[in-house]
């Protein structure tokens, strides 16, 4: 999957200026960059949130074949975790799943009473159990402790083993393997797309 000659402006601010980006199929693709560099904007464009994705987005699936968890995503506060899982089971294309221990512990808690980290784990989990071609996560480990962040990344790697493509933005580099594809957004005109090992050698993290 690739984006060619991509430009994007937000008000008077230029976020991307004629850049090319490459994503590897069936792999974890990490988008890195400083705050405000356009990571979330890029994900919104890939997921076609506005329905205006251009022809320069090549090889990306349609929005209904994408699972997308953005930073502000939420669920109704009155529903319990059990209600949410029950709803998920009724959706088309749910992969048979085993409820992880971390979620079993909170089954009867209302979404509104969960901690920020627990909400994030639940939202990530429900987005990984639905059968889509492309999975997009915007800072999935935000607010999640180290142990469970590791578990979340294990779920992502299981998806790639099933032939799925995963795109993730993150500020934490601990869970990136040298062979993972990294898209480093340096500035509006400069983007590096390569394996983490190669990107690391060209950039000082």
Partner 1 sequence: MLENDMAMFKLQLKIALKEKMVFFYTLIIPIIMVFINKGPSFRDNEVLYLYWAYIVVTTILNGFLMNVIQLRENGFLKTLSYLAGSRFSVVMSSFLVQLLIIQVEILLFNLVVTIFITPVSPWTFLYSFLVSFLAVFLCAAMLSGLLILKVKQNTFTVIINLFLLIGIFLLGIRPQRTWNYFLTVFNPFQLIYGLYNVPYTTVAFGIFEGTCTFVYLVMGFFIFDKISIKSQLSRV
Q: Is 167 near partner 1 (CB under 8 A)? A: no
Binding-site string for partner 1 from residue 107 to residue 126, where x marks contact by CB under 8 A and - marks none = ----------------x--x
Helices (H), 113-204: 116-128, 146-161, 196-202
Q: Is 90 near partner 1 (CB under 8 A)? A: yes
- The Cα 199–Cα 202 span in angstroms is 5
Contact 162, 142 (CB under 8 A): no
Burial class of residue 204 in the structure, from the number of CB atoms within 10 Å of its CB (0-12 exposed, 13-18 middle, 19+ buried): exposed
Applying CB under 8 A, the span of 1-9, 19-27, 78-86, 158-166 interacting with partner 1 comes to: 78-86
Residue in this structure with the two tokens 């899982």, named with its chain if needed: 85
Using the rule CB under 8 A, which residue among 13, 87, 115, 154 binds partner 1?
Answer: 87
Using the rule CB under 8 A, which residue among 43, 66, 114, 124 binds partner 1?
Answer: 66
How far is residue 166 CA from its own chain's centroid? 7
Q: Is 143 near partner 1 (CB under 8 A)? A: no
Q: Is 64 near partner 1 (CB under 8 A)? A: yes
Residues near partner 1, by CB under 8 A: 40, 44, 47, 49-50, 63-76, 78-79, 83, 87-88, 90-92, 123, 126-127, 130
């Amino acid at each position: 999957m690739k984006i060619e000659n991509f430009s994007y402006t937000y008000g008077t601010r230029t976020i991307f200026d004629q850049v090319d980006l490459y994503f590897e199929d069936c792999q974890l693709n990490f988008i890195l960059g400083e705050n405000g560099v356009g990571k979330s904007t890029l994900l919104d464009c890939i997921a076609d949130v506005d329905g205006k994705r251009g022809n320069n987005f090549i090889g990306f699936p349609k929005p209904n074949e994408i699972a997308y968890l953005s930073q502000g995503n939420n669920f109704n506060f009155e529903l319990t975790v059990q209600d949410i899982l029950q709803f998920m089971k009724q959706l088309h294309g749910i992969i048979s799943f085993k409820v992880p221990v971390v979620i079993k512990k909170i089954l009867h808690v209302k979404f509104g009473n969960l901690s920020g980290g627990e909400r994030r784990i639940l939202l990530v989990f429900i987005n990984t159990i639905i059968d889509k071609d492309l999975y997009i996560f915007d800072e999935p480990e935000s607010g999640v402790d180290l142990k469970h962040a590791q578990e979340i990344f294990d779920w992502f790697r299981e998806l790639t083993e099933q032939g799925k493509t995963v795109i993730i933005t993150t500020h934490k580099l601990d869970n990136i393997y040298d062979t993972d594809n990294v898209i480093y957004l340096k500035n509006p005109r400069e983007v590096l797309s390569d394996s983490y090992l190669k990107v690391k050698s060209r950039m000082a993290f």
